[in-house]
Amino acid sequence: MKFNIAKNTLLKAFNKHQQFCVGSCHAFMALRTDYIHQLKTVHDELGIKYVRFHGIFNDDMNTICDFTNIFPIPGGERFREISFHRCGIAFDNILSIGMKPFIELGFMPSQLANAPVQGNMTFYGSNVNLPKDYDEWAGYIQEFIRYLIHRYGEKEVLEWYFEVWNEPDLKGVFFNDTKQDYFKLYEATVNAIKRVHSGLRVGGPSTSGSKWIQSFITYCKENKLPLDFVSTHQYAGDPLIGVTDAGDPDLEGAEVSFDKSGFLKIGELFEKLPEDTKCLDILRMIFSDPTETKDLHENLFRKNAMIAKKQSDGLPLLYTEWNLCASFSAISNDTRKAAAYLIKTSLDIEDYVDGSAVWCFSDIFEELHQFTQEFHGGFGLQTLNGIPKPSFYALKMLAMVGGNRLDLGAESTDGEIGIAAFSDENTKQVLLFRHKMKQLSLPKVTATVSFELNKRPAGVTLYRIDDTHCNPYQLWLDEGSPSDLTPSEIEEYKEKTSMKKEKIEFSYENGVMAFDAMLGVNDIWLICIE
């Protein structure tokens, strides 16, 4: 396969939307030192500015307390206090490392909810019900906003974002009511915020699969509601029964229920398993990896982002969650397949997205359970103990390239081997990747790149992600999948699989520099030309 980059190729500013934000576990985790340490690594090495998490109002954040929480005395519920102290500590920690919070407003404090916590997808007990009194909810939101402005100052808080709820289209998972109920919740919330300060940025609908955008904007217009940005999510593979991840988002606006009958019959499964079966292995039997078991559309995200951008009616479009696979425990999340997907998709959607947040920055993550196996298929860019995965290095490559992208045409990322080229004042970069949704064992393919340059390069270096580079999961497998790593072993993993600069052979004749790249499935090469 041959690629030629002409000297007169047009340049355009490269939208590094993936540096806007990153996702993480629930708010309580931001009180932990290991969480903040890993988040600082993401900020410092990947250049990411904001962090988003669930559960800022969950009961473990203690924002509302009545006397029955101290002593269960009848009548004690009349004596209620509101405190956002823990929220403040979480935000203090985030600001201390140079990042800013992207605040997802949810879930519902139990004292304000119209029903108790019911079984849902979160280990930490999120209440995903509506408020029993909208005036009470509005007052609570206003008190939260006043607290933030008092603690951090108006100028600082005006730089933050406020997103109403998370994935309300997933009924029974993150929301127990209807689309119209979510719209009403948004209305009460945005009006409460704007009464405190009209300049704060508020948006939604924060749906899965690029859904509800058209009807949400229509509702906001008809009811004259403020809307500062549109937010939604997109994954290539989604495990929830009844949730489609293909097609026109307009046609996917129907409510989606979490159909537990779609899972394996758990009781029958348990009867057949030996007692020493690992919990992680059972979870993998329940949640398959759709990126390996289904034929997924490789350009789905670009297609839906194009539609979502048109539907957004000129408002900023933020994808506040995205990644290869929404199936927790999928082995693909730890592999270079996820890295190749992040590279391809980041390049594919840059013309349509104003900001995005890869889900998520660390396997410090207990939505279902905090699994402690070093590589358990978590969503994180880093393992529980902070070992960077191939996906981390993919985002690092995108952070390293220049601020201008050479326009090689949309088809340049559509083939089996994709290519992108960049430049800044002193250097040029070529990014090559061989992306497949299934990690197939195929022979390596040679890609020959010729680049027209004014003079012979002073130096050409290579960074790569493949079987033996930036691939700690493969090293872990080669070493027998150890169940517990010591601190010194963790540092050894980091060093052995860190991104290293290599020399690459090239030719330069008649104003053309050329080199060959041997790419296996889901390998990535970044070539830097000085």
Of 57, 215, 203, 66, whose CA–CA distance to 140 is shortest? 57
Residue 270: pLDDT band (50, 70, 90) is: confident
**Is a pLDDT exceeding 70 seen at residue 354?**
yes
Q: How many residues does the chain have?
A: 530
Q: Which CATH superfamily is domain 2-9+404-529 in?
A: Glycosyl hydrolase domain; family 39 (2.60.40.1500)
**Is a pLDDT exceeding 60 seen at residue 249?**
no
Q: What integer pLDDT is reported at residue 244 of this predicted model?
A: 39
Of 359, 357, 358, 379, whose CA–CA distance to 368 is shortest? 379
For 479-504, what is each residue's pLDDT tens digit? 999 988 999 999 999 999 999 999 99
For 452-487, what is each residue's pLDDT tens digit? 999 999 999 999 999 999 999 999 999 999 988 999
Greater pLDDT, 138 or 8 = 138
The C-alpha atoms of residue 438 and residue 522 are separated, in whole angstroms, by 9
Q: Is 321 a catalytic residue?
A: yes
**Is a pLDDT exceeding 50 seen at residue 410?**
yes
Catalytic residue among 167, 187, 292, 350: 167
**Is a pLDDT exceeding 70 seen at residue 251?**
no
Q: Is 104 a catalytic residue?
A: no
Residue 247: pLDDT band (50, 70, 90) is: very low
- Work out the angle at residue 91's Cα, subtended by the Cα atoms of residues 20 and 133, and round it to the nearest 5 degrees: 100
- DSSP structure string for 185-230: HHHHHHHHHHHH-TTSEEEEEEESTT-SHHHHHHHHHHTT----EE
Query: Domain 16-400, what architecture?
Result: Alpha-Beta Barrel (3.20)
Range of weakest confidence among 7-16, 279-288, 364-373: 279-288
Range of weakest confidence among 117-121, 225-229, 420-424: 117-121
For the chain, what are the domain ranges? 2-9+404-529, 16-400
Q: What integer pLDDT is reported at residue 119 of this predicted model?
A: 56
Contacts of residue 29, Cβ cutoff 8 Å, sequence gap at least 6: 35, 53, 364, 365, 366
Average pLDDT of the chain? 91
Catalytic residue among 104, 252, 292, 321: 321
Residue 265: pLDDT band (50, 70, 90) is: low
Range of weakest confidence among 225-239, 336-350, 411-425: 225-239
Percentage of the chain surpassing pLDDT 90? Answer: 75
Q: What integer pLDDT is reported at residue 483 of this predicted model?
A: 86
Percentage of the chain surpassing pLDDT 70? Answer: 93
